[in-house]
Structure 1
Amino acid sequence: MTSDDSALYPSASVRWLTLLSICVATFLMPMSMSAVNVALPAIAEDLNADAVLVSWIPTMNLLGAIALQLPAGRIADMIGRKKVFLAGLLLFALSSFAIILIEHIYWLLLMRLLQGISGAMVFGTGMAIVSQVFANHGRGMALGLTSTSVYLGLTCGPPIGGWLTEAWDWHAVFLAPLPLAVLCTILVGIHVRETERQADQRLDWIGSLLFIAASSLFFVGLSELPALAGGLLALAGLALLGAFIYQQERSPYPLIRLRRMVNNQVFFRSIQASFFMYAANYPLQFMLSLYLQYIRGLSPAEAGELMLLQAMMMAILAPLAGRLSDHFEPRIPATLGCLLFAAGFVILALLEQDSSMTQVVIALLVMGTGFGLFSSPNNNGALSVVPTDKLSIASSLLNISRTLGNMLGMAVVVFLFNLLIGNAQLVPEQFPALIRLLEIAFALCAGYALMAAWRSWSRGKVR
């Protein structure tokens, strides 16, 4: 932190109120995202939407988030992080309020895209603000609490969404977060200080459009696999990504200097570790839900309550692990977390149709511990080697690595389903094939976590 930054946040109370402001927003966004998933059947019935269009409701949110991550981070570094953060909150509030006017599924998809863009603006600046404010005052602990707010939002979303949908209707799922969004806007407006504007910088419009097009085509293509059209779209996205990389090395005001990022070993390998860990983590709830409900006969509520064990461990350990990374090399707890996460997947890969539920509980506790040890130290290690004026773009890159990891993990699972089960319904005759599929998927996820451990440890020392 520079001396100017210290003057902006002179007291501990101001720093913690700033952190509270960010945590409210980082709780609100994932809570709203996961709550909507529970309301999908009600939305489909009310808007007469088919299964394909309904599946795009969560997908459009992710699409908006990844496509605008880099431009949002770059704009925040140019004009000020507080402005972009507040603009993201305002866009989220307006798009949520507009839901009451919607009478067709296509308008709802547009609102979900706007909410994804608002998430890119908030998450692309939130971690950067926290990292700057707490640079000399326990940054790891502060980033850990930010991560905890995300986990709590994801955990609280489904029960909140289910209760609101049953008590009122699906519109309430979108409208309920509005008071919290207003509170967050007030807190940010009062307590967050604006960063210095970089008047000598310009936005790379060509690079921004190339990145938006590349990420959108690749994302949509992955979601359509294994259809031929999906493969062609994904390849087109990769081609445009190559054009983006080429253009960035020649732009006078690039979104990112890719060569400089690759040469920054600590940051680049932290991003790689994040990518592999989220590729392992994202399909977990989906796969375990299938095992618990189809193979073991648990109800959705029972399966959901059991899977909360992992989220609870992550939420408890994230701030503690962040504090550890303030005193020890971040790669130590982060790498240990990756190894524990891999061990949890090995336990799950050994599940059989009549395995003890204790085996599932142990696996979830081990994995919750592992991910809790990984997330905050990895973020702390990555952001601690980034100049203050580049924190927003660095925060955006971390978010992109997570989203791309999510996409890869889920795309591989969908491919396995098409390969081993196809369009057949999941009836008892298909359970042996489902068990085999889950064994392969869990083993692959263990491999992702081991790759993350390798990249985490090889990043080297921060201090």
Structure 2
Amino acid sequence: MATDSRRWLGLVFISVAVSLIIVDSTIVNVAVPSIVEELKISSTEVQWVQEVYTLVFASLLLLFGAFADRFGRRRVMLIGVSVFAASSVLASFAPTGELLILARFVQGVGGAMILPTTLSLINSTFRGRERGIAFAVWGSTIGGMAAVGPLLGGWLTTAFSWRWAFGINIPLGIIIVIGVLLTVAESRESRKRSIDGVGALLSVILFGSLVFGLIEGRTFGWWIAEDGLTIGGWTWPLSVSPIPFAFAITLVALVLFVRWGLRRGRRGQDPLIDFSLLSISSFRNGNIAALVVSLGEFGLILALPLWLQFVLGFDALQVGLLLLALAGGSFVASGAAGAFSGKVPAVVVVRVGILAEIIGIAWAGFIIGPDAAWGWLIPALAVYGFGVGLATAQLTGVILQDVPVEKSGQGSGMQSTSRQVGSALGVAILGTVLFTTTGGVLAASLDDAGVPSAAADTVVTAVVDSAGAAIAGLEADPSQAQIADAARTAFSDGTRASALTAAGFLVIGLGATFALGSGRRRDVEAQAPRPAERVQGA
């Protein structure tokens, strides 16, 4: 097989590796109700099944980005795929909630090995216009798989079992390993880097405590601890929530991490992050833009499936089918981005993509209601998916465009971390908007209807704590018809508020892209790898 053809075939397998972690992160949301029913897990365990993956994933991205530069990008990615597939075996056979949570923890480790290495492999393999096309394929894969995940999860859960939602990763992992070994060349830094163990530990503490605080703030209380708060069976003894302490740890770890890295740099040692990368304006400003955009980019996917199932009465498979419109838009964006690559500055494509996301989310937000005509969601989701496909890949290209190839692992890890931290912050804020708005509107409606306060509080708590699942029980009781209607309206208002808030974040992100300049690469790249980059045959 010709070398050029092999590179493009290798891109296919790299994109499938990205699909593995994206599908898994979305597929679980659809499978959770069946998991609860079979394993009898508590509401706290439900949260950790969903959240421990994100926590570990974001905490380790920087570390494995640096490891990839040092030990080989293809090698680290293949180890990550193997770890991910092996942990999927554990998840698919997990007899208890505790083992399922452990499996998700290990999946987060594997995912953190895969994502930054896929980016750095693309960055070291492709040049010029080809790189733009490659990043377009990579980004559109993320957008498309974010929609395919719920569809696949709904079908597997409905037709077979929730365990197949994890089991599907095993054959995919085998295909990826074989394909990458045959088509992707190894690359690494030519200079041997020392491993910054202290920096790695501080980065894990930094991002772990930050993501923990963002995710658990609504559950534990942002400042005042929730009544009867228990953590792992241990009763929290203070009136102040643990979240401020988590953020304090984040701040201390950040200061120590920066000081330690600068100190190692002055000594001529290798820090976990080469802070000189932040002197590259496209990299620095691009990371800021990526973080802000990520706050709102998947806001619709957070709330929409809950609203479709619990207000409009869709089942998991129907939700997945509707979200195919998002995937379609994203795949169309892949072709559009490839056609514009090298002809239109990448930052312009990013802005067009973010604008399309804003239009799609706002459109959907105004459609949402207790008796919405859901058919109008299809074009809204298609526009939104088109925007995700354009913006995700091209913004990545802009961020990494001036990063030396030998530092692409670090650069990829940093930009991936920015996105994950932004996503975690977005989930925390948009989830708070969704459930706070739902609770407030429902409480006011029940008060206007003359429902006694004690009964109203019970209803509000049930609807909010179940993320809307309690609405079906209310509808099943004819005597509760008025309350059920109020709950459907309140949850619709919360979903709309969440979607419009996400659109607001994207507006801010669009503004942030104007600090990126033209988005054109300043250096003229050759097609061959740079001297500092060592590339080996497959």
TM-score (ref. length: structure 1): 0.89
Matched, 1:457 2:514: yes
Match of 2:397 in 1: 380
How far apart are the structure 2 equivalents of 1:154 and 1:352? 21
* Partner of residue 162 from structure 1, selected from 151, 154, 175: 154
How far apart are the structure 2 equivalents of 1:346 and 1:102? 40
Match of 1:4 in 2: none
Deviations 1:198-244 (A, max 9, x none): 44311111111111012111212222213122343233223322322
* Partner of residue 277 from structure 2, selected from 254, 257, 261: 261
Matched, 1:135 2:135: no
Shift, 1:319, TM fit = 4.3
Shift, 1:418, TM fit = 5.1
**What pairs with 1:36-115 in structure 2 (closer than 5 Å)?**
36-99=28-91, 102-115=94-107
Match of 1:248 in 2: 261
Equivalent position SS for 2:516:
coil
After superposition, the Cα gap between the structure-2 partners of 1:437 and 1:108, relative to the gap in structure 1 and judged at 3 Å, is closer
Shift, 1:84, TM fit = 0.5
How far apart are the structure 2 equivalents of 1:424 and 1:167? 29
Q: Which letter maps to 1:333?
A: V
Q: Which letter maps to 1:95?
A: S
Q: Is the 8 A contact 1:336 1:453 kept in 2?
A: no
**What pairs with 1:200-239 in structure 2 (closer than 5 Å)?**
200-226=192-218, 227=221, 228-239=241-252
Q: Which letter maps to 2:132?
A: G
After superposition, the Cα gap between the structure-2 partners of 1:432 and 1:70, relative to the gap in structure 1 and judged at 3 Å, is same
How far apart are the structure 2 equivalents of 1:85 and 1:303? 32
Q: Which letter maps to 1:330?
A: A
Matched, 1:272 2:294: no
After superposition, the Cα gap between the structure-2 partners of 1:355 and 1:152, relative to the gap in structure 1 and judged at 3 Å, is closer
Shift, 1:112, TM fit = 0.9
Deviations 1:37-79 (A, max 9, x none): 3332333333331121022112121122111100000011111
For structure 1, the residue ranges without an aligned partner over 5 or more in a row are: 1-8
Deviates more, 1:49-58 or 1:323-332: 323-332
Shift, 1:315, TM fit = 2.1
Match of 1:145 in 2: 137
Match of 2:477 in 1: none
Equivalent position SS for 2:142:
helix
* Partner of residue 287 from structure 1, selected from 303, 307, 325: 303
Q: Is the 8 A contact 2:356 2:384 kept in 1?
A: yes
How far apart are the structure 2 equivalents of 1:89 and 1:420? 40
Match of 2:431 in 1: 414
Q: Which letter maps to 2:12?
A: L
Match of 2:229 in 1: none
Matched, 1:315 2:331: yes
Shift, 1:350, TM fit = 3.5
Matched, 1:180 2:175: no
Matched, 1:18 2:35: no
Matched, 1:350 2:407: no
Match of 2:382 in 1: 365
TM-score (ref. length: structure 2): 0.78
Shift, 1:460, TM fit = 0.9
Q: Is the 8 A contact 2:215 2:425 kept in 1?
A: no
Q: Which letter maps to 1:305?
A: L
Identity %: 27
Q: Which letter maps to 2:104?
A: R
Deviates more, 1:149-158 or 1:49-58: 149-158
Deviations 1:318-341 (A, max 9, x none): 342144233221111111222222
The number of aligned residues is 454
Shift, 1:298, TM fit = 4.7
After superposition, the Cα gap between the structure-2 partners of 1:50 and 1:294, relative to the gap in structure 1 and judged at 3 Å, is closer
How far apart are the structure 1 equivalents of 2:209 and 2:145? 29
Shift, 1:31, TM fit = 2.2
Q: Is the 8 A contact 2:199 2:260 kept in 1?
A: yes
Q: Which letter maps to 1:347?
A: W
Match of 1:5 in 2: none
For structure 2, the residue ranges without an aligned partner over 5 or more in a row are: 222-240, 440-460, 469-483, 522-538
When Rg is computed on C-alpha atoms for both structures, the one with the higher figure is: 2
Deviates more, 1:121-130 or 1:393-402: 393-402
Equivalent position SS for 1:203:
coil
How far apart are the structure 1 equivalents of 2:354 and 2:143? 18
After superposition, the Cα gap between the structure-2 partners of 1:293 and 1:189, relative to the gap in structure 1 and judged at 3 Å, is closer
Shift, 1:379, TM fit = 1.5
Q: Which letter maps to 2:401?
A: S
Shift, 1:360, TM fit = 3.3
